[in-house]
Amino acid sequence: MCGIIGAVTESAIKPVLAGLGRLEYRGYDSSGISIVINNEIKTRKVQGKLKKLKHILAEQPLDGEYAIGHTRWATHGKATLINAHPHQCGQVSVVHNGIIENHLQLKQQLLQWGHILKSSTDSEVIPHLINHYLSLQMTQEEAIERTIRQLKGSYALGVLINGVEKNLYAIKQGSPLVISEGNDGAYMASDAMALGRDINKIYYPKDNELIKLNADNVQLCNASLNKKIHYVNNTYYENIISKGKYSSFMEKEIFEQVDLLSNAMSKQQASSYTAINFTKLNKITIVACGTSYYAAAVAKFWFEKYANISVAIDIASEYRYRSPIITDNELTIFVSQSGETADTLAALAYAKSKKAQTLALVNVCNSSIAREAGFFFEIFAGPEIGVASTKAFTCQLAVFYKMCIEAAKQRAFISHTELRKLASYFQLVPYLIKKVLKQSSDMKRLAKKLSTYSNVLFLGRGIVTPIAQEGALKLKEISYIHAEAYAAGELKHGPIALLDEQMPVVVLAPKDSLTDKLLSNIQEVQARNAPVFIIGDACIREYINLQEDEFFELPSIPESILPFITVLPMQLLALYCAQALERNVDQPRNLAKSVTVE
């Protein structure tokens, strides 16, 4: 959840600060650096965003050959200065991403040894333990390995030791970590993107491989470093980390969807969904969190309607705690943009322990979930930086849609003509997305009005119900307007009690088989004086009286591809409401891009 980085190079502060900027999507509660200067470790930290740290370092510059940095998403201990990383004990400084579950016992032990711990984090025990073992005359490597054997939980660590030798060590257990050797130095970070243009070769360490980075080389301690190196295209990462003409990464990523969906479609044709024998399956279970869960909810609709396969969907944080029944002819699919979400990863481990057939849909191919699953499909969204997921959602849908066509074909549940129709509708997706994006100024107008309210209800029916839910999630996470979504038919079973002049209702109303029923639901809302905003087909306006800034017109869309197109207005609505309220769109409060803690 936090971002960590370390560098051994002539002027280490520059890549560390630049890298922290690229890691801020992982958390931005506090930031800090440690650097070796004149044979001493100096540490600077701030509560809050990186720009504060940069400001301090601009006024009092520090530089040296060995540095580590951290940007935090608070788990144990509040977002305060004292809890900011790096944590230092003597000449040992540590940055940590993950959770040390047994930190209270370790703290107790350290107190008995006479150590004074200042923070309320789980991480601070690490430099103290290493320092303790160094004081017992262990070598640096022995001291780290002895410490690691005591830690329970997940971690990726950067450990800076300024002893007789200066070294930067990196080690991980269940949390992401990359190592890179460039022409000018050695680096470690939470992800490859953090290293920007300076990387060309990267190495993904295994759990508990201790890696030493120093001015001479990168070494795997206690074993020969038989590295599987990945070569990286630097310009690719440069484009990814620039916002270009857009005001936020989220906006850029929303507008990227036209091209991405055309490219992703051709890339996905190359992937082989034929690897799955759908005729043998009698059930699919799909497990995911947040936006990825709503992609699963859409997939359920498709698989059941077009391929006649029963689909159960599960929230990852619940799955392994409720004894799910896993049968022989079942495929369990794990969906995760980051591939690092701790809840989804733990659910996958649970399914594997029960001998389930597992498949992952991920955006990050080197991620833990991709590696752990029986097999995986890439969604080809490219790195997603905005904390609110947008393009990954439509790319996840694209993979599910293609899989569903393959399943329908194998199971011969629908006719050849219907199959061909499903495939041809898919070709319309980029064109229709473009059409919706061209009307973005209409959505800006609607969002301006909606953003004056503190609570919003979203309604949908059928296949767009998960899209209404995704709309509510997007709105609350980046604008902080309280929003909830319901299948429109559920309104009368409770939520209708909330309706009055201060409770606007956003209705997702494309033209489909349920339009007439939805029109009755809208009448029910209007009869209770609740302001109504409709994202719908032009025909809706014949029945419902709305002002210009209360309506966003959807083009005519075939029912099977409705989720791809209707989610665009939802994403734009959240973006423009957040902008109207002057929120930080890419760094919403309390959130982070990869949720690597349970």
Under the criterion CB under 6 A, does residue 477 sit at the interface with ligand F6R? yes
What's the CA dihedral at 521, 524, 525, 526 to 10 degrees?
120
Among 344, 560, 566, 587, binds ligand F6R (CB under 6 A): 344
Among 9, 268, 332, 336, binds ligand F6R (CB under 6 A): 336
Residue 346 CB, shortest distance to ligand F6R, in Å, is: 12
Residue 437 CB, shortest distance to ligand F6R, in Å, is: 19
Under the criterion CB under 6 A, does residue 290 sit at the interface with ligand F6R? yes
Determine which one of 212, 252, 409, 593 is catalytic.
593
Among residues 210, 193, 109, the alpha carbon closest in space to that of 158 is found at 210
Among 289, 457, 459, 519, binds ligand F6R (CB under 6 A): 289
Q: Which stretch binds ligand F6R (CB under 6 A): 151-159, 206-214, 330-338, 454-462?
A: 330-338
Under the criterion CB under 6 A, does residue 596 sit at the interface with ligand F6R? no
Residue 29 CB, shortest distance to ligand F6R, in Å, is: 17
Among 175, 338, 451, 579, binds ligand F6R (CB under 6 A): 338
Q: Backbone phi, then psi, for 372, in 5-degree steps?
A: -80, -30
Catalytic residue flag (residue 593): yes
* Comparison of 145 and 477: residue with beta carbon closer to ligand F6R: 477
Q: Which stretch binds ligand F6R (CB under 6 A): 218-226, 337-345, 445-453, 538-546?
A: 337-345
Under the criterion CB under 6 A, does residue 337 sit at the interface with ligand F6R? yes
Catalytic residue flag (residue 49): no
Give every CB contact of residue 545 below 8 A, 6+ residues apart in sequence: none
Q: Which stretch binds ligand F6R (CB under 6 A): 271-279, 285-293, 558-566, 576-584?
A: 285-293
Residue 339 CB, shortest distance to ligand F6R, in Å, is: 7
* Comparison of 452 and 584: residue with beta carbon closer to ligand F6R: 584
Report the alpha-carbon distance of residue 343 to residue 355 in Å, rounded.
19
* Comparison of 160 and 296: residue with beta carbon closer to ligand F6R: 296
Report the alpha-carbon distance of residue 394 to residue 386 in Å, rounded.
15
Residue 405 CB, shortest distance to ligand F6R, in Å, is: 23
Q: Which stretch binds ligand F6R (CB under 6 A): 152-160, 205-213, 336-344, 540-548?
A: 336-344
Report the alpha-carbon distance of residue 538 to residue 593 in Å, rounded.
37
Under the criterion CB under 6 A, does residue 175 sit at the interface with ligand F6R? no
Binding mask 386-425 for ligand F6R (x = CB under 6 A): --xx------------------------------------
Report the alpha-carbon distance of residue 117 to residue 131 in Å, rounded.
13
Residue closest to ligand F6R, measured at CB: 290
Report the alpha-carbon distance of residue 202 to residue 434 in Å, rounded.
36
Q: Backbone phi, then psi, for 473, in 5-degree steps?
A: -65, -45
The tokens for 239 are 């484009």
Q: Which stretch binds ligand F6R (CB under 6 A): 114-122, 333-341, 421-429, 439-447?
A: 333-341
Which residues inside 435-474 make contact with ligand F6R, applying CB under 6 A? 473
**Continuous H helices in 94-206:** 103-112, 125-135, 140-150
Indicate if the alpha-carbon torsion angle 297, 380, 484, 255 is positive or negative: negative
Determine which one of 2, 221, 395, 577 is catalytic.
2
The tokens for 277 are 């024998």
Residue 434 CB, shortest distance to ligand F6R, in Å, is: 23
* Comparison of 399 and 408: residue with beta carbon closer to ligand F6R: 399
Among 110, 360, 457, 595, binds ligand F6R (CB under 6 A): 595
Q: 193-203: string of b/e by CB count within 10 Å (b at 16+)?
A: bbbbebbbebb
Residue 103 CB, shortest distance to ligand F6R, in Å, is: 24
Task: Please state the length of the chain.
Answer: 598
Under the criterion CB under 6 A, does residue 291 sit at the interface with ligand F6R? yes
Q: What angle do CA 242, 368, 208 make, to 5 degrees?
A: 110
Report the alpha-carbon distance of residue 376 to residue 310 in Å, rounded.
21
* Comparison of 144 and 506: residue with beta carbon closer to ligand F6R: 506
Q: Backbone phi, then psi, for 495, in 5-degree steps?
A: -60, -20
Say what angle helices 391-411 and 416-438 make with each other, to 10 degrees. 170
Element (DSSP H or E) covering residue 332: strand 330-336
The tokens for 399 are 């993979």
* Comparison of 9 and 292: residue with beta carbon closer to ligand F6R: 292
Largest CA distance in the chain: 83
Residue whose structure tokens are 């000449």: 91
Among 30, 75, 97, 292, binds ligand F6R (CB under 6 A): 292
Report the alpha-carbon distance of residue 583 to residue 154 in Å, rounded.
32
Residue 372 CB, shortest distance to ligand F6R, in Å, is: 13
Q: Where are the beta strands (DSSP E) in 40-122?
A: 40-47, 66-72, 87-89, 92-100
The tokens for 199 are 């990387």
* Comparison of 276 and 395: residue with beta carbon closer to ligand F6R: 395
Helices (H) and strands (E) in the chain, counts: 18, 24
Residue 28 CB, shortest distance to ligand F6R, in Å, is: 15
8 A C-beta contact, residue 385 and residue 370: no
Under the criterion CB under 6 A, does residue 122 sit at the interface with ligand F6R? no
Under the criterion CB under 6 A, does residue 324 sit at the interface with ligand F6R? no
8 A C-beta contact, residue 49 and residue 28: yes
Query: Active-site residue numbers?
Result: 2, 593
Q: Which residues bind ligand F6R (CB under 6 A)?
A: 289-292, 336-338, 341, 344, 388-389, 473, 477, 594-595
